[in-house]
Structure 1
Amino acid sequence: MNYSYIIIDDDPESVLKTKAIADSFSELNFIAAADNYSDALNLILEHNPKLVFLEIDPANTKSNLSLNLIDALYRYLNRIPKIIITTSKKDLAFEAIQYEVTDYLIKPLKSIDFIKLTLKLKKSHLDDEIVLIQSPNTEENISPIKAAETTNKKKNLILCIKSYGDHRYIDSKDICFFQADNNSTDIHLNNGEVITAFKTLKHFEAVLTNPFIRIHNSYIINRNYIARIHTGNSLCYIKNTTIKLPFSKSYKKNIDFIISDFSNENYIEI
């Protein structure tokens, strides 16, 4: 089994080192490399590689390389490539696991890392070939490819707000924004309802990923509900409401990311 791959890394020397090791494995076929979010997304969508080696702690923060790239891939692809994180930081591993990445390699990369990776890929491929999933309603079997596609479809995150035995379930797609209120957080839904959770905004920032992005000490916004961003007045407007949320200078890079993220979609600037 051959595996085409793309390297996403803002360090040219690191790209060369990764490719040099990979070149010694005949089953790994290099396609291209990218050093920023936009180019990386375009390359993956254009070439549809089987593997992506991704740096998530770039030296140049303007490259916008992070795990958010995986979220973007789910918006366009039913089946995303296998993601292999390559970084020098161990403390990002837990967050990466939440994205179900295939592997997490610590730089400097070594040949043994790639030996283990290729063995893991071969085992995974073999398992996919021999596993048949039987439909509960028919006698037909679902093909391994179809089964993998079904598994890879990302479901919406459900938030469970617990209070004195009460379990309130909220579909994350219905949340417009989170607002800090001392040691609690108000969750604003798209129907106008506000639910209070007795957790800090920092707690939600730690457990949530894109499309939920911190824009202010008091706000985390769902970028899917942004209708307008006014950088001059430092305001984000919420769709179908009169609500305007401020963003602060300390989170300006997150606003830049949102603007960049929008531009990578089906987008025309007039």
Structure 2
Amino acid sequence: MKRLLKALIFSNVLVAAGAGALTLGSGHLWGTPAGELAGLGALVFCATLAVYSLDRWVEGRGEDRLAGSVRHVWLQGHRRTMSALIGVGLIGAGLSLWWVRLETVLALIPPGMVSVGYSLPVLVWRSARLKDVPGFKTPATALVWAAVTCGLPLVESGAAVSPQVAAWLVGERTLFIYALTLPFDVRDLQSDRLGGVLTLAGRLGEARCFDIAQVAASVVVLSALLRGLCGVAFGQWATALASLAALGLLLAGKRRFAARRPPGELYYAGGLDGLILVQALLLLLG
């Protein structure tokens, strides 16, 4: 059971499932049955699996070679598995394109380019990856996730939603993912420094980084409740409840770091990443 749990976490299958499920959950907001968005959900799952596996597979700078990490040990022992997952993800994403509208495919190009550039050196400047750009790593992750899991379902469904409402919902999703992603910067603080990657955690420290994440999650809760008062109730309770759960996890994580007892991988992959699946299920059931 423990080996299976490690495989699900470190192989990126869990986070890819969260991305696919959240995409379907967002489509449910627009009144589109999950079955009609199955192609897009499969595309997002496969593309996420490929991109995240690529990031783990590529031998990067210091942050990818932190010795002693449980994650590092597992990845080093399963490089063939990661290679296979990249291939499966790419093939699956390619096949899924046949069931997705052309407009959606075109809308996927910008976040797709950012995702690939996140792991591969695409910048002329020092042959850098996008995540080597100071302060770019976490905001880029949040924006890409919001564009893919919230924006693409709107394009695919063709729902008649005003640009203002769409921007509001994408903004909420961005802040939600940002709140969940910042603790990963804290976890990777030392390894990012070794790799020359400057993140918010590296500038402000652990406690302030958790504080910012809590503020982001709190803003999402208030925004969702405000939407309800304004008559824009798309998934307001699912969003608010998932963000409240995030607040609890963030507070627990901050206390663990303050006590010099950093949480383990289960906190990040099972807790924070798991909240993505929780929000998706709440949206689908709402």
TM-score, normalising length from structure 1? 0.28
Structure with more of its chain in helix, by fraction: 2
**Which of these two proteins has the greater Rg computed from alpha carbons?**
1
**Bigger fraction of residues in strand:** 1
User: Which is bigger in relative contact order (C-alpha 8 A, separation at least 6)?
Assistant: 2
